[in-house]
Amino acid sequence: MRLLTLALTCLLWVSPAWGQTPAPTQPAAPAVPAVEAEPDLLPRWSDAQVAELIAAARTAPAHGMATDPGVEALQIQRGVVAALPAGSIQRLAEAARMDFMAAELFRRVALDFGAGRVSPRQVDRNWQIPPPAPDTDALMRAAVQGGTWAIGRTLDSLLPTHPDYRALEAALVRALAATPPDDPLALAARERRLTAIRADLERWRWLPREVPGRRIEVRIPFQRLDFHLGDGRVERFTAIVGAPRTTTNSLVDVARSVVFNPTWIAPRRIALDELLPSLRSDPAAMEAQGFELVAADGTAVPPTAVDPASLTRSGFAWSVRQRAGERNALGRVKFPLTNRWAIFLHDTANRQLFGREMRALSHGCVRVQDPLRLARLMLADTGGWTDARIAEATVPGGAERGVRVASPVPVWLVYLVTEPDAAGGLSVAPDIYGLDTALVKALDQPRAPEAAFGIRLNTRVAMP
């Protein structure tokens, strides 16, 4: 124990001039208390385990990230330890330092692999999916106790296993191996592709590792909705997503019902910015489109029954509701979600917009072409909802009707700009919200200086 105390004293308090005796005028360093074997102590690392950790950390470029600077620092520290006489106080102290550095590097690589290197909200304020939160210290202890090869296996297990992530890894290898073209336009296209691949590798690390087989998935930049039926089949729908100024958030939710002939209560911002001017200038036209004003007590009146001069932005106390019908903004059917941003899926009265190539046009909700087909798929195991019954439920002028689905469907709205294509390659969609460059720039930011040394002076280490 005395040897341990002396070694830790050397580790924490000696000056860079190793081994020099402090001048008599200097205050004595505080005594380092004896360290007892407690569960929260850092584990001791063998040289072989440190070597494996370094090898695992050096795979970061294969995942679109720069190698952590702590790798080089730890490699140097290995050499320092190896050069010192076995059993010496200096070696014990430097081995303890190496344990600190290895522990910190493991934590950082585990977070990089398991949750992403960049905080999602740092580069995308609309990303509302919490990243995974691996317990890095518990993983580290188990890995060190598990022997040499457990270090690499543990870190590798934190990476996404979804086939799309593996496809991105392969695409990155191919892109980096290809000779950069001389043509400026081709070079710019190559850089755009590399940026998209690296950005999506990071986004996949932000996502939950368990991806439900049966789900609705909207890859926002592709402006498309895919219903994964859970048996390998995928039904695809053209979609309209949020405009760059009124984006669709990335979120994970669940669809529990289908609403036929929905009414629409305009969000406050839309009511004030877009509907109020028309309510003032042409209330009759707004009434013809099915709009009505709803007071706080629930009383509804037609726009023509209200003095337009009283409809001011500052004193607007009404809710704006649009009755069900062919001109309703939600169309014939909506698919409610539960998120607090009021984002959901729905039909639209402006179906001609589905013919556009660029369909980032909505206020954030996702409009779906052929929504009755989507309703049929969602209600497939909800008794009695045939095509004829769905058609009957959506007759213009019919009453609003909600139907709870027997099997709720997970809904993933995700900003992913890549996807594997049928030919085994990778399709890259336009970066419609302009997020990729900032994400990759954040990935390339140098780590803080402490990361290169990885020493936490208030952390205790187990030693013999």
365 is catalytic: yes
Residue in 411, 415, 419 with CA at minimum distance from that of residue 214: 411
* Amino acid (1-letter code) at residue 383: G
CATH code linked to domain 214-263+327-418? 2.40.440.10
Output the pLDDT for position 93.
94
What residues have CB less than 8 Å from 128, skipping those under 6 apart?
249, 250, 251, 339, 341
Please tell me the distance from the alpha carbon of residue 229 to that of residue 216, in angstroms, as a whole number. 8
Output the pLDDT for position 41.
61
Output the pLDDT for position 19.
32
Q: Which residues of the chain have pLDDT under 50?
A: 1-39, 449, 451-464
What residues have CB less than 8 Å from 316, skipping those under 6 apart?
271, 272, 276
pLDDT digits (tens, 9 = 90+) for 324-342: 988 899 999 999 999 999 9
Q: Whole-model pTM?
A: 0.85
346 is catalytic: yes
CB 221, CB 431: distance < 8 Å: yes
Output the pLDDT for position 435.
98
H/E run at residue 225: strand 224-229
CB 40, CB 46: distance < 8 Å: no
Domain boundaries, the chain: 1-211+432-464, 214-263+327-418, 268-321
Q: Active-site residue among 63, 228, 346, 363?
A: 346
Output the pLDDT for position 96.
94
Output the pLDDT for position 242.
98
Output the pLDDT for position 448.
62
